[in-house]
Amino acid sequence: MAKVYLIVNMELSGKKLHTAIKKSGYSIRELQDMLDLSCPNPIYKWIHGEALPSTVNLYRLSYFLQIPMENLLAAENLTMNEEY
């Protein structure tokens, strides 16, 4: 029997987030201030697919960018075969 897992593709999610930021007109520095981050590095990691925002930051991004949280992430199905 196969199990299906939903996974988040970090690279595609980063691209979606980068596109949303560009469309919003906010700069990385402005988002850094809005998210109360000490430096912009986390944002660059998110948009380069190296990390995902925390749930709190994802919620904040959703609010500031006016995009539902699930639209900022790229989900994929992963099927694993199980042998009994």
The answer to whether residues 13 and 72 touch, using CB atoms and an 8 Å cutoff, is yes
Q: pTM of this prediction?
A: 0.84
Per-residue model confidence as pLDDT tens digits over 5-23: 889 999 999 999 999 999 9
Helix ranges (DSSP H) in 1-84: 10-24, 28-34, 41-47, 55-65
Question: Which of the four pLDDT bands, split at 50, 70 and 90, describes residue 4?
Answer: confident
Whole-number Cα distances in Å, 8 to 13, 16, 39, 66, 72: 7, 12, 25, 21, 11
- The pLDDT tens digits for 26-79 are 999 999 999 999 999 999 999 999 999 999 999 999 999 999 999 999 999 888
Cα dihedral sign, 54-60-65-69: positive
